[in-house]
């Protein structure tokens, strides 16, 4: 298996369209599949979901509904969900919203916290009369691992319990391989990534024109003093405002997250456009940004108590270095600078204020790349960084995959016990 094949598989597995925040959408996808297996509209839905999915589904806008949370996403999955659409399963939301609201008000939905399961785990049991179906999604947002109708098991795929050591051993590429792929591969094999820019730019325009969430991008852009950095960050945050605020505009996700896809894309494109970079340079910088983010996320895990904007903004810092004429050593400085800057940012659920975290992470990406292009990087004695870039990346993975499990527990406890 060549390194090129591995890298291209990572791209295929981690970059795809999604409408809405991927956790509630994945729940709707699971519900839609359970409905299809059942063969009739369910009378009751029972869900067992992991705490990371609960955390990311509680406060985020559901596309086209003006509502937040799982009940409306579940109801839409029942009345109009089509599992063949993957993470665009809620593209039907506007048309079917009244029907979904009626179903939600007249049928029973039970949601339970599933413990001792994968961090991304969604189990849906649908009931109608004396019939039932069960569908489980685990590990990634579209990965069906179990399907059952009544007593007939249709699919049963083991869920691997991945250890950190095996994660390291199974990743057969490194950062230099990614840099070489992004900067040396025949450009005709990479130019598809411009499709991502077109789609995500539409989400940014929606955020700048509408009143979504905290309107972070829109307000930053309206400031009288807008530097290049500020304009780039404003346009990026605007796309997140729209997405987290319930806009129906689809975005390309990175590593299962639309915000990560937005982050890896727009800062690179907007910076390159304003600094008159060539199309080839834009393509290669975008590829580097997305791939570095995906690569680091392999160590952290699909869902974590670490905010996904950490790995995404590390990708951005790498792409910014490349656009300023930097080499691999300087990209390495940028990555280490970022690891020692943003690692502590927690994920306290998907919500409109994620755009504020995006602004913080992108400012760090600009700072880190500015230092790196001058050959300035954190010392190996600083924090979790080491002399080896790969070991530094593995260290952030250990923190995200295992070290913050107790923080995840505490975050969910806080989120579910807020005073009215």
pLDDT in the model for residue 112: 96
Contacts of residue 419, defined as CB under 8 A and 6 or more positions apart, other chains included, come to: none
Model confidence pLDDT, tens digit, residues 33-80? 999 999 999 999 999 999 999 999 988 999 999 999 899 999 999 999
The helix or strand, by DSSP H or E, that contains position 126, with its residue range, turns out to be: strand 121-128
Tokens of 344: 């502590």
pLDDT in the model for residue 168: 57
pLDDT of 166 higher than 70:
no
Model confidence pLDDT, tens digit, residues 90-123? 999 889 999 999 999 999 999 999 998 999 999 9
d(CA 88, CA 77) in angstroms, rounded, equals: 11
pLDDT in the model for residue 163: 47
Q: How many residues does the chain have?
A: 420
CA-nearest of 94, 51, 59 to 76 is: 94
Q: Is 186 helix (H, G, I), strand (E, B) or coil?
A: coil
d(CA 128, CA 305) in angstroms, rounded, equals: 37
Model confidence pLDDT, tens digit, residues 289-337? 999 999 999 999 989 999 999 999 999 999 999 999 999 999 999 999 9
pLDDT of 164 higher than 50:
no
pLDDT in the model for residue 165: 44
Mean pLDDT of the chain: 94
Q: What backbone phi and psi angles, to 5 degrees, belong to 291?
A: -70, -40
- Domains in the chain and their CATH numbers? 22-156 (3.30.1330), 164-415 (1.10.4100)
The helix or strand, by DSSP H or E, that contains position 289, with its residue range, turns out to be: helix 279-300
Model confidence pLDDT, tens digit, residues 337-347? 999 999 989 99
* Cβ density class 98-132: b for 16+ within 10 Å, e for less: eebbebbeebebebeebeebbbbbbbbbbbeeeeb
Q: Determine the average pLDDT of the residues in 233-244.
A: 96
Contacts of residue 84, defined as CB under 8 A and 6 or more positions apart, other chains included, come to: none
User: Can you state the angle between helices 258-274 and 309-323, rounded to 10 degrees?
Assistant: 20
Token pair 């691999």 is found at 328
User: What is the reported pTM?
Assistant: 0.93
Task: Identify the band that residue 203 occupies on the pLDDT scale cut at 50, 70 and 90.
Answer: very high
């Amino acid at each position: 298996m060549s390194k090129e094949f591995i890298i291209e598989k990572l791209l295929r597995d981690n970059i795809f369209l999604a409408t809405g925040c991927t956790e509630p959408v994945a729940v709707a996808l699971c519900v839609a599949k359970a409905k299809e297996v059942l063969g009739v509209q369910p009378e009751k839905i029972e869900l067992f979901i992991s705490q990371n999915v609960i955390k990311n589904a509680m406060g985020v806008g559901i596309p086209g509904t003006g509502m937040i949370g799982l009940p409306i996403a579940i109801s839409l999955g029942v009345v109009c969900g089509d599992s063949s659409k993957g993470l665009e399963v809620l593209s039907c939301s506007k048309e079917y919203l009244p029907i979904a609201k009626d179903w939600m008000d007249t049928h029973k939905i039970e949601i339970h916290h599933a413990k001792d399961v994968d961090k991304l785990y969604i189990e849906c049991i649908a009931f109608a009369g004396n019939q039932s179906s069960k569908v489980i999604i685990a590990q990634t947002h579209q990965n069906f691992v179990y399907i059952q109708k009544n007593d007939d098991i249709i699919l049963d795929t083991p869920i691997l319990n991945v250890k950190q050591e095996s994660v390291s051993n199974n990743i057969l590429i490194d950062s230099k391989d990614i840099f070489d792929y992004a900067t040396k591969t025949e450009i005709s094999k990479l130019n598809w990534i411009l499709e991502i820019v077109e789609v995500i730019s539409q989400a940014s325009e929606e955020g700048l024109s509408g009143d979504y969430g905290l309107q972070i991008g829109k307000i930053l852009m309206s400031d009288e003093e807008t530097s290049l950095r500020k304009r780039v960050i404003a346009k990026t945050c605007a796309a997140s405002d729209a997405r987290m605020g319930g806009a129906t505009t689809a975005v390309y996700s990175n590593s299962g997250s639309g915000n990560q896809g937005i982050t890896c894309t727009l800062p690179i494109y907007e910076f390159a456009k304003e600094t008159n970079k060539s199309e080839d340079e834009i393509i290669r910088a975008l590829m580097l940004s997305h791939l570095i983010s995906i690569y680091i996320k392999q160590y952290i895990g699909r869902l974590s108590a670490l905010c996904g904007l950490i790995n995404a903004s590390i990708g951005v810092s790498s792409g910014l270095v490349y656009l300023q004429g930097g080499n691999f050593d300087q990209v390495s400085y940028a990555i280490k600078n970022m690891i020692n800057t943003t690692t502590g940012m927690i994920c306290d659920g998907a919500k409109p204020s994620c755009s504020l975290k995006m602004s913080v992470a992108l400012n760090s990406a600009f700072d880190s790349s500015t230092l790196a292009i001058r050959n300035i990087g954190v010392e190996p004695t600083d924090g979790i960084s080491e002399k080896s870039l790969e070991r530094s990346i593995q260290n952030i993975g250990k923190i995200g995959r295992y070290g913050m499990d107790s923080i995840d527990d505490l975050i969910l406890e806080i989120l579910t016990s807020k005073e009215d």
